[in-house]
Chain A
């Protein structure tokens, strides 16, 4: 059951230095109850993807184009998130060299957002932001902020119980019409409950604290509580553990797993930390330079990590666990190279040089033509010919390795080329 379906999402922003293609044709699908991990380095467009989904692209002039559907509760009804202007025409025009600026000013963008997103943000789609201390309102106490979210969650419960007639939109609208009276004590009790659920000791004290008085780990947990308390259908977590200490990260991962089991939430997890994704995600999508280059189940993409072998296939690694039949690595060269650069636990004292990916991540204003990874690709450096000649000319088509795993690469030496998408 699909909760969110994105096809061909393009977010282009026009800056004085040129057109920045933050998101350049992203296709994603999130099913109910699963955790999709969106991985990539900084600058690859994953945060902009999240913001395009939730309608918080606030730089203009720019265009967000593509097909985005969100079906609340997994029910059949769909809410179209993308702009109401005809989509495919504009993607074509944008990619061929003409920009159509939908949002020439904040006013246009805000009007669109108000109609589509007012019932979604904070209610059905919740977001956890990257820097917890600045993402919480510094003028409100923890109790007040959590209380907002808790109220939304409680109201939705009451509303559902009362069986409001509008099945499409059972939640009260933002301007306060149809607000349900809630018991103040119940709200406070719920706030306390949520603080305990996220393992904050002495919740009674913390309720009256302001965000600047708390540490990063506590603020992040409060943000998680806020996101979950409004009982959303989809949670978008944008780099939730960046900047926190590793012990706190481990605790937050445990917390996430615990809460996921309890609330059966659907999560879109965005991070550059492979370890975090490896723990939490069911499926992984790898992004590079605004495009998704690989999507697949976690076990297949992170296979070197989860089979407990050294991160690099060097001769000194432990021997392969038995039972693995195919040694063929059908992943995208970028994924392979990235995983190789992480030092393993047993790499002590710098004895082994870490393999590197040459050059730097390209500037978004001047992305390489064709496959954006081709200047750094080790496969291209070793081989050439055949389909690889297209690497610097055309965007690679997708190759479906199996039903759930596809790669966008011209190198079909270890993949079945008959599974390539006919475009």
Chain B
């Protein structure tokens, strides 16, 4: 029940405090926050483990009778190793044991370690992609928004054309070009170049959104007031439009793009166009273990789950950020 007793210092009551960040976070709902926080912690720890711990994604598992297998595990009921020992003494497709906590893959390497390295790769390639996406998108958007008349229409047409192109085809084109130009010693660069291309080809979407915002905001009174005040154009566009109005848009699109980058990397690697050994990525793991699905192995499922969860996480984050940042507009 609200207490309606009218305070005597009603003048003080007039000045209300601002809505803080925590209020906004709380308004999202506990479940969503917990979900996002848990997944980010897991992701971050996987990423950090690769730097901090002394592990090797290429080390193989030599079978030893003394190694204890997890008895109660669903994946190895009754403590049976469940793997196959190859002629070289390496056990592949083993179940979780005390050395390899999630078991190992088709070459006998620790699955968890490889997942961690894969997380690292997906994060780095995703970041490269998003960086290019952001820079190209905002630049093109700002340039297009600055013009009026025929040039403006031209930009809009261009954006629409590139947007409707299927991106995988463009990327295959990029693969060919990159494969031809980049030499063997820079082979690890290829995937980063590919990701940069992905960011670049996806940028018209962001550019179009930004251009739309700029066009509509150009005529608003506060932008006209800034122009009348005599501010420089970069101040007006940079601060008033991009930072205050477009920021939610940009952040959300970037988060979404990150998820897309992971998916695209997986797809390309599966098609054998992306990474290769000795780099480690989830896509590569999935590709090599794909045959194991037919024979009932659980390891591919874990990799698929990791990829799916990561992509879902970023898309979900995009949604959460939208809510979090958009509430700024409802201030006061």
Contacts of B34 in A (CB 8 A): none
Complex CA–CA separation, A366 to B6 (angstroms)? 8
A293 to chain B, nearest CB (A): 18
A369 is contacted by which of B1, B2, B6, B16 (Cβ under 8 Å)?
Answer: B6
Nearest CB in chain A to that of B332: its residue: A17
- In the assembled complex, the Cα of A18 lies from the Cα of B7 at a distance in Å of 13
A99 touches which one: B1, B6, B7, B11 (CB < 8 A)? B1
B10 & A96 in contact (Cβ 8 Å cutoff): no
* Residues of the A chain whose Cβ atoms lie less than 8 Å from the Cβ of B7: 366, 369
Whether the pair B4, A95 counts as a contact (CB closer than 8 A) is: yes
| Residue B181, interface by CB 8 Å | no
Kindly supply a per-residue 1/0 record for chain A positions 35-65, scoring 1 wherever the CB is within 8 Å of any chain B CB and 0 otherwise: 0000000000000000000000000000000
A366 in complex: contacting residue of B1, B2, B13, CB < 8 Å: B13
Q: Does any Cβ of B come within 8 Å of A368's Cβ?
A: yes
CB distance from A272 to the nearest CB of B (A): 22
Q: Are B10 and A97 in contact (CB under 8 A)?
A: no
Question: Which residues of the other chain, A, contact B13 by a CB distance below 8 angstroms?
Answer: 365-366
A18 touches B2 (CB 8 A): yes
For residue B6, which residues in chain A have a CB less than 8 angstroms away from its CB?
Answer: 366-369
A206 close to chain B: CB less than 8 A = no
Interface residues on B, range: 10 to 19
**B8 within 8 A of partner (CB):** yes
- Write the nearest CB–CB distance from B20 to chain A, whole angstroms: 15
Are A97 and B4 in contact (CB-based, < 8 A)? yes
Q: Is the CB of A14 within 8 A of B2?
A: yes
A363 contacts the other chain (CB 8 A) = yes
Say whether A97 contacts B16, CB under 8 Å.
no
Beta-carbon contacts under 8 Å, A72-116 to B: 94-99
**Distance between Cα atoms of A366 and B7 in the complex (Å):** 8
Contact with A along B1-36 (1 / 0, CB 8 A): 111111110110110100000000000000000000
- With both chains docked as a complex, state the minimum distance between the C-beta of B329 and any C-beta of chain A, in angstroms: 16
Nearest-CB distance from A34 to chain B (Å)? 35
Task: Give the chain A neighbours of B4 by CB distance below 8 A.
Answer: 19, 94-99
Q: Which one of A17, A97, A99, A368 contacts B5 once the chains associate, using CB atoms below 8 Å?
A: A97
A286 CA to B45 CA in the complex, in Å? 67
Determine the chain A residues whose CB is within 8 A of the CB of B11 once the complex forms: 375
Q: What residues of chain A have their CB less than 8 Å away from a CB belonging to chain B?
A: 14, 17-19, 94-99, 362-363, 365-369, 375
Sample (28) of A-B pairs whose CB atoms are under 8 Å apart: A14-B2, A17-B16, A18-B2, A19-B4, A94-B4, A96-B4, A97-B1, A97-B2, A98-B1, A98-B4, A99-B1, A99-B2, A99-B4, A362-B10, A362-B14, A365-B13, A366-B6, A366-B7, A366-B13, A366-B14, A367-B6, A367-B10, A368-B6, A368-B10, A369-B6, A369-B8, A369-B10, A375-B11
Extra 11 A-B pairs, beta carbons < 8 Å, given A366-B7, A366-B10, A369-B7: A17-B16, A94-B4, A95-B4, A97-B2, A98-B4, A99-B4, A365-B13, A366-B13, A368-B6, A369-B6, A375-B11
